Chain A
Amino acid sequence: MQNLGSLEETILLIILAMDDDAYGFSVSEAYEQHTGKSISISAVHTVMSRLETKGLISSEMGGETAERGGRRKRIFKATPQGVAVIEEIKASRQKLWGLIPGLG
């Protein structure tokens, strides 16, 4: 299993949740909305490029809009490997939860 930092894990989850509209700005907005913590766009970019190097997400250019001055976005999608990794993490967490008496 690949090692994932907690920020990487969160961003990967957000990308999965956003389904086809995950790009730098939107992810940073979503992050702030869901976690209540603020994050800079550049931090999101670095994390996503790291995830891409690890092969957990892939990207393509597309979807230019007026508010971007006609510039395209780099849209990120989770790869099957990325989905597998996140499921693995979930499974192992759940196993641990199950071991806690009085909770699971």
Chain B
Amino acid sequence: MKAANSSRSKSEISFIVNGDRKTMRVHPMERLLDVLRQELGLTGAKEGCGEGECGSCSVLLDGILVNSCLIPVLQAKDSVILTIEGLAGIAELNCLQEAFLECGGAQCGICTPGMILAASYLLQHKPQATMEDIREGLSGNLCRCTGYSQIFEAVAEASRRKATA
């Protein structure tokens, strides 16, 4: 349960999410996570801890990996946001998602959207990520199911496939 300002003065905020421009009236200190989930119905970003520790709420904000639970929505004004829902087409999975499916990178699935966005951000910056890069790049995304090893395999596999594609 998260309380924001109870005298909830709202302002108009607009940004582009997954390619669509969205404009809404929200309290400027509302968390981006809540706006995505409640106002826009984009429930792929999850709340695991509410304090930037678990990474389940990861999204890309102007191409940068962030924890959306730590972003007051006013700081997302006029930005371009990518959530898990916008990562691939409706029917197909992208290369990372395919690799996660094959390698067992998703178990309960609650950390998965954040993990995939973090991995995607990593591979964008380090296409030939080493195991050390992968471990570091995902260290802000907690997973309690896998022990991470099959996630590492999936990211390494996606990196290989991208290199040979």
- Same complex origin of A and B: no
Which of A's residues lie within 8 Å of B, judged by CB?
A: none
